[in-house]
Structure 1
C-alpha cells in the first residue's frame, strides 16, 4: 500500500453497516410508532424474516470492545432479562404475518454464550414454532471460547445452531493480556474440528490494530488460523472511538500501532489467506470458494446487515430483541434502550422499549441501496441497479452525492475505475471502500458526526 494513499484516505468515515449510520438515529421513537412500522413491514421487501438477540452480559469486559456490553449481573437479573426476551418475541411476532419465513437468526453481544444452552435452545424454539424457515436458514451464535468446556460445546450444539463465530481476536497471549481478553479454554484446532464434526460451519474472528501487535506477530496468528481451516475467517480493523466507549482509553496508554503498521498487518493477512485458498469478501471477510458468500459476490448479490455479510437468500428485514437491539426494516430503523433495567421493566409492563429510530426518505432508501451494493460487491452497474429499482439511472445518481470530479480523483489515485455506466473498485482501493461510499452520501456533505478511520 502506497504511503501517500494511506495519508490521504485514512480519515474518519462511516463503517456503513447501515445507511444512515446509527449515530444519525434520533431520540423520540415510541411504542406506538414502532408498532405501526412493524405492521407495515409485512407488506414490504424483503418478505423474509431475520431475528437478532442481543445478550449484553460479559464475565470480563475487553478494553477494545465497541459493543454494548455490561459486566455480568446477578442471576436474578439475567433470569428476568431472558424472560423479557421471550415476552418481547411474543409482542413483536404477534404483529408479523405468520406466512413469512425465517431466513436468519443471530445472537450477538456481549457474550451470548454466557447463557446456558437450554436458554438459547428455548429462544430458538420459540421462533421456529411460530414460523417456517427458508431452506437451510442461517442460525448463528457469536461465541467467547474463553469460558466454554467440551461439555458446554456439546450442549450448545444441540440448541439448533448451524454456524458458530469464534471470537479469537489473536493467538498471542501478550496481546490478549493487554486488552483483558480471556484465552480459549479449549485448544482452537481441536475446537474447530469438533464443531465441524457437529455438522456446523465455523467463523474465526480476529482483530488487528491492538497494542503489542506487529506485522510479524499478526502474521504468525493468521498462518495458524489458516492451518485450522475455519469456513470463514474475519480480520476486523480495530476501531478506536474512545469518545463513544471510554474504556478504550486504556489502550492509548499501552500504545496503539500506527496506521502504516496496521496496513501491513492487513496486507500480510490478505496475502496469507489468499495463498491458503480463501477469497476476500467485502471489508474484512475471507471465505472458501464453496461458500455461498463467494458465489453471491460473483453474482453481485452480496448483502450486509448489522450482523455481518449474508446473501440475498439469507436476508430478511431484521427484528431485534434485547437492549440496544437495532431493527432494520424496509423504511425505518429502531433501536431499543441501552439500559438493562429500563428494558426489563418496560417489557414487563407490556411496552416495546424503543429509544431511538430513523425513518428513511425515498431518496435515502435509494442511497442505502447504492452504498450497500458498493460496500458489499466493490462495484456498481448503474443500469442493473436501474432495473432492480425500476428507476432511471439519472434519478438514482441524483439521489446520491454522485460527483464526477470526486470520482475522477479516485480514478487518478488508482483506487477505482469508472465510466458513465460503472464504478469498479480496484484491488488497491478495497481498503478505502468506505471513503468511496462516503463520496456518494449526501449526509456527508455537511455533518458533525464522529467516525472511525478505515485503517
Structure 2
C-alpha cells in the first residue's frame, strides 16, 4: 500500500515510548506481586532447563567513573578514589556465590559482559581477580562470547591483554562524537588518536570484534560534525557500530540539566542527523541490524541477523540467546525467562546487603502467560522485523488487541499486514519501537500521565 502523501511520519510517530529491551518494560513491572523466593525458584527452574543446552549469560555492572558525562543515562558513581575497587569486587563475588548456591550445579557461561559506568576505571589486576573468580568452578561454553565496554582515554594495553587472556574477544569503545564543541558540553573527552591506538592495540592482541558507540541528537551536534565523526570512524572500520538516539530524560538524570533543550537539535534536525548517519554508514559497507546497530558482513551480529538467531535483552542485541541472564552489581537486571529482577541502585546499600549474605534485589516482575506471548512478538519485531500469530494456539486477549492497533501502521506503509502476521517494510525499520508499542498491552491499559520514556526521535 502506498504511503499517503503529505504525511510527516517522523512528526506523527515522534512520541515517548520504550526501547523494548524487555517486555513488560520496567515502569510496568508488577512489583507488588514480586516475591524474592519466587524469583529464586525461577532462577533454579531456568538453569535446570537451559544450562546444559545453551548455558547462561552474566552481566556485571561496574558503576564507577572519574568524571560525569552529562548526556549519560546509566547508573554511575563519580569518584577519583580507586580504593572503591576492591570492596566492590568482594561484594560482586559474594553475590555470585549466592547465585551459584541457588543453581546447585556448575554453570556453563556462554556470555559475559562488563558494563558501566566505566569498566576500565578498575585496574587490570583487579579485573583479573574479579573475572578469574567468576570463572572458577564454572564451565565455558564452546561458543562463549566475552565483551567489555571501555573508555578510550583510560584503556591500557594491560587492560586489553589481561582480559584477552581471560577469554574476552569483543571490545566496545564509547565515542559519541569527535566534535570538540559536543565533547565539551557533554563532558566526554577522547581524541581520534586515542581511539586509534586502543583499536590497533586490541586488534594486534587478537580481539575479533571492535564496536564503537556513536550518539545522534546530542547538544550542539551538527550535520557537518556528525559526518566528520563518521568519516573518521570509517578510517578505523570497527566491526560494529551502535548509533544511538540521545535520550533526553533530565527528570531521571539531573546531569542532563547542565544544558537546555535549546542546545538540542529539534525533531526535524535530529531526524536529519539520523538519516545522514544511516546513509553514511550504509555507504561505508555497514548493514543495519535491528534498531540502532550496524555491522560489517563478517561480524557475528550480521550473521545472526541473516540466520534468524539475533536476540535482544537488557544488554542490547546479541548473536545468541540464553534463557537465563544473571545481572551482578548495583542496579543490574536479571532475567530468568519467567521473571525479571533488579538490584538496589545505591552502592553502599549493595555492599551492605552482599556483606549480610542477602540477594541485593529490590524489585522485580513475575511474567504472566500473556506477558510471555507479547514478549515473543515484540522480540520478533525488534530482531527479525516480522512476526506471525495463531489465533487458536495463542488465546491471548492482549495479542488480539495489539493486532487491532496495527492497521494505521500498515496504512502508513510501516508494515505489511495480513491475517496471520506482519512484516516490517524498509520504511518501517526506522519505527520499530512504534510497531512494537502496538502490542504493549500494559502501556495501553495504563497510559502514563507524565513522560516515562524518551522520544522516538
Q: Give the TM-score of the pair, scaled to structure 1.
A: 0.92
Say whether 1:264 aligns with 2:263: no
The change in CA–CA distance for 1:381 and 1:37 in structure 2 (over 3 A counts) is closer
Deviation at 1:311, TM superposition (A): 2.3
Residue 403 of structure 1 and its aligned partner are, at CA, apart by 4.5
How far residue 43 of structure 1 moved from its aligned partner, in angstroms, is 3.2
In the alignment, is residue 283 of structure 1 matched against residue 291 of structure 2? yes
Structure-2 residue corresponding to 1:411: 410
Aligned to 1:202: 210
Question: What does residue 226 of structure 1 align with?
Answer: 234
Give the 5 Å matches for 1:154-193.
154-184=161-191, 186-193=193-200
The answer to whether structure 1 residue 395 and structure 2 residue 395 are counterparts is yes
1:259 and 1:243 map into 2 onto residues whose CA distance is 20
Alignment pair present for 1:112 and 2:119: yes
Q: 1:27 to 1:406 in 2, by over 3 A?
A: closer
Offset, 1:58: 0.6
User: 1:129-148 to 2 correspondence within 5 Å?
Assistant: 129-148=136-155
Secondary structure at the aligned position of 1:286 is classed as strand
1:408 deviates by 2.1
Residue deviations 1:130-164, cap 9 Å, x none? 22122231111011112234455444444431111
Q: 1:79 to 1:309 in 2, by over 3 A?
A: same
Alignment pair present for 1:6 and 2:10: yes
SS of equivalent to 2:138: coil
Mapped to 2, the partners of 1:199 and 1:381 lie a distance apart of 41
Q: Judge conservation of contact 1:64–1:251 (CA < 8 Å) in 2.
A: no
- Select between 351-360 and 245-254 the one with higher mean Cα deviation: 245-254
Q: Partners of 1:130 and 1:112 in 2: how far apart?
A: 23
Q: Which one of the candidate residues 90, 93, 102 is aligned to 2:97?
A: 90
- The alpha carbon displacement at 1:125 in A equals 1.9
Secondary structure in 2 matching 1:108 = strand
Aligned partners of 1:417, 1:263: CA distance in 2, in Å? Answer: 24
Gaps of 5+ in 2: none
Relative to structure 1, is the Cα distance of residues 392 and 293 closer, same or farther in structure 2, using a 3 angstrom cutoff?
A: farther
SS at match of 2:58: strand
Q: 1:246 to 1:305 in 2, by over 3 A?
A: same
Asked if 1:434 is matched to 2:439, the reply is: no
Partners of 1:354 and 1:26 in 2: CA distance: 15
Residue 332 of structure 2 corresponds to 325
Q: What count of residue pairs does the alignment treat as equivalent?
A: 446
Taking a change above 3 Å as real, the CA distance of residues 372 and 253 of structure 1, as seen in their structure-2 partners, is closer
| 1:49 aligns to 2:56 (yes or no) | yes
User: Which of 22, 41, 62 in structure 2 is aligned with 1:36?
Assistant: 41
Q: How far apart, CA to CA, are the structure 1 residues paired with 2:214 and 2:185?
A: 15
Match of 1:307 among 315, 321, 327: 315
Q: 1:404 to 1:210 in 2, by over 3 A?
A: same
Separation (CA, whole Å) in 1 of partners of 2:7 and 2:412:
12
Give secondary structure in 2 for the equivalent of 1:240. Answer: coil
Instruction: Give SS of 1:53's match.
Output: strand
SS at match of 1:43: helix
C-alpha RMSD of matched pairs (Å): 2.3
Q: Is the 8 A contact 1:302 1:373 kept in 2?
A: no
Offset of residue 417 of structure 1: 0.9
- Counterpart secondary structure, 2:228: helix
The question of whether the paired residues in 1 share the 8 Å contact of 2:378 and 2:436 is answered with yes
Note the C-alpha offset of 1:33.
4.1
Deviates more, 1:169-178 or 1:68-77: 68-77
Cα shift at 1:168: 0.8
User: For residues 339 and 351 of structure 1, do their structure 2 counterparts lie closer, same or farther at Cα, with a shift above 3 Å needed?
Assistant: same
Q: TM-score, normalised by structure 2?
A: 0.91
Aligned 8 A contact 1:50 1:319 in 2: yes
